Structure 1
Amino acid sequence: MTAKKMTRLGVIGAGGIAELALTSLVKALDAPLDQVAILVPERSTKRAEALLERCGPALTRSAAIHSDIAALLADRPDTVAECAGHIAVRDHGAAILEAGCHLIVISIGALADDGLRTKLEAAAKSSGGRLVLPAGAVGGIDALAAAKFSGLEEVIYTGRKPPKAWKGTPAEKLLTLDTLTDAAIFFEGSAREAAQTYPFNANVAATLAIAGIGLDATKVRLVADPGVTRNVHEFSVRSGCGDFEVKLEGRPSASNPKTSQLAGYSMARELINRVSAVAI
């Protein structure tokens, strides 16, 4: 049986992640999609229009921009890519899955809320839709998820970013970010606590936890480090089948230093796998 390829795509958001995903996708298409519909607040309509214009007719035969989730779903997308943050997952995730769409969530930290995660899983099971969680800004998720079957003993994650990347978060009340001269650990706790307290910076911690030992057992350290210019993600694993460590130094998004470029390309990879004859 031939796997059905994605032909009608919905996208929530028109920021840096959406741009990287769509501009990468258009390069991989053999033919335009039947439709791409973007859901944004009315104030972001022009930004969405500009994004579609940059992608051009090679992306899609038909394009639409909506500010209402019902209008997006009326366009019958088979896949919806969330590129807008935790609030979008909370507000729209269940409706998308209940409509039978596949939902790709990049803001995985939202699923630290057990009630929301359970609601989305139930919606997917009842409708035949699928909740898809790409790796985002971190690598090694395949090894971690495989090692889980052998029994995970410990998973420790350290997120290290330049001080400016922590502005607008509770770290501002703990550290003087503008004058910091040495690396400072300002958070130590569980992945659940990290994802809830630092939702725009701790999606990686939630991803590792959901793929691995769980939100409460995964240990997290968050560091403001003036000695780094990139977002550094490190995690170590002890398991029944072996121990390993992974380190990535990601370049931050030009439009938002709290976001990794790799998150956008991770979404691109997921979309490209859905239109390609070979998925990897």
Structure 2
Amino acid sequence: MRVGLIGQGAIAHYVAQGLPAIGGRLELVLIRQGRGDAARIATDADVALSKGIEGYSPDIMVDCAGHQGLAQHGTDILRAGIPLVTVSLGALADRQLEAALTQAARDGGSRLVLCSGALGGLDALRAARMGRLDSVTYTGRKPPAGWVGSRAEEVLDLSAPLSAPVTHFEGSARQAALGYPKNANVAAAVALAGAGFDQTRVRLIADPATQGNIHEIEAAGDFGTMRFSITGQTLPDNPRTSALAAMSVLSALADYRSPLSF
């Protein structure tokens, strides 16, 4: 299995290291750097994405570069007929980008594979949406330092000690994903698995008592009720990156290669 990567961060590094264990090898890397449309291509991307050039076109691509990386490269990859795995689910809150990626996948006969990221329980939500979903709520709870650099700083002084948990955002998953692009991929995953961006409620909390990132799903419908909670650990070389998110990418690649998958 020939795998291409977009990005050079902690998740890309984790995936590259784990590929041999699932029968894959790194074929090319598109490394995003700078701002705007600036990008450095580490391998000849035009050749790599051309259909019918045996030995150069990867079997599957993986987006590890965040929302901007998916927006910049996603449509070209999908239109070239190459499946694309992404953890940048929050980018799909942009209706125009979601439509462009969907059309590119149809045009190329390919598929955009959405990783579960830092959260579990999404299989139950996907099943439940086949019936009636009355309510879905995602709550994200992090230490105050975990919200540094986000819109939480507009309502909280994160440099001052907090004596109690503070909710700094309540709204829809679409609002959360667009307002917190580096923090709300989990909220987007919940929305895409279940009731959608506009019907999924999100609550984001800065909690001085928590030692990790806590993700909770609550849902109700004609399937019954569910409540799922996970406290995630981060990757050793990047305290801002979920270990489970990186693992979910390798899991998606293993499923792609395997004749059996959930």
Q: What TM-score, normalized by structure 2, do the two folds share?
A: 0.90
Superposed CA deviations along residues 186-243 of structure 1, whole A, max 9, x for unmatched, are 0000000000010111001111111111101100000111111111000101011111
| Structure 2 partner of 1:144 | 125
Instruction: Show structure 1 runs of 5+ residues with no match.
Output: 1-6, 44-64
How many residues were matched structurally? 250
Report the alpha carbon displacement of residue 71 of structure 1 after superposing the two structures with TM.
5.0
Report the alpha carbon displacement of residue 277 of structure 1 after superposing the two structures with TM.
4.4
The one-letter code of the counterpart of 1:15 is G
Is 2:27 aligned against 1:27? Answer: no
Structure 2 Cα separation of the partners of residues 86 and 234 of structure 1 = 23
| Secondary structure in 2 matching 1:40 | strand
| Secondary structure in 1 matching 2:234 | coil
Q: What TM-score, normalized by structure 1, do the two folds share?
A: 0.84
Is 2:198 aligned against 1:216? Answer: yes
Structure 2 Cα separation of the partners of residues 18 and 73 of structure 1 = 19
Structure 1 Cα separation of the partners of residues 48 and 91 of structure 2 = 21
Does the aligned pair in 1 maintain the 2:47–2:57 contact within 8 Å? no
Structure 2 Cα separation of the partners of residues 277 and 129 of structure 1 = 18
Change (3 A) 1:208 1:41: closer
Pick the aligned partner of 1:271 from 249, 253, 257: 253
Structure 1 Cα separation of the partners of residues 47 and 152 of structure 2 = 39
Does the aligned pair in 2 maintain the 1:12–1:82 contact within 8 Å? yes
Change (3 A) 1:157 1:89: same
Structure 2 Cα separation of the partners of residues 161 and 67 of structure 1 = 38
Percent of matched pairs sharing the same residue: 43
| Structure 1 partner of 2:155 | 174
Structure 2 Cα separation of the partners of residues 93 and 223 of structure 1 = 32
| Structure 2 partner of 1:11 | 5
| Secondary structure in 1 matching 2:240 | coil
Structure 1 Cα separation of the partners of residues 193 and 228 of structure 2 = 15
RMSD: 1.8
Does the aligned pair in 2 maintain the 1:38–1:72 contact within 8 Å? no
Report the alpha carbon displacement of residue 21 of structure 1 after superposing the two structures with TM.
2.0
Structure 1 Cα separation of the partners of residues 210 and 64 of structure 2 = 26
Which is strand-richer, 1 or 2?
2
Structure 1 Cα separation of the partners of residues 211 and 178 of structure 2 = 25
Does the aligned pair in 2 maintain the 1:66–1:72 contact within 8 Å? no
The one-letter code of the counterpart of 2:146 is A
Change (3 A) 1:42 1:246: closer
Superposed CA deviations along residues 20-51 of structure 1, whole A, max 9, x for unmatched, are 2222232232xx64x521111468xxxxxxxx
Pick the aligned partner of 2:108 from 103, 123, 127: 127
Pick the aligned partner of 2:42 from 44, 66, 83: 66
The 5 Å alignment of 1:89-100 reads 89-100=70-81
Superposed CA deviations along residues 154-211 of structure 1, whole A, max 9, x for unmatched, are 0000000111111111111211213223211000000000000101110011111111
Superposed CA deviations along residues 77-134 of structure 1, whole A, max 9, x for unmatched, are 1210001100011111100000000011111000000110111111111211111101
| Structure 1 partner of 2:59 | 78
Pick the aligned partner of 2:244 from 230, 251, 262: 262
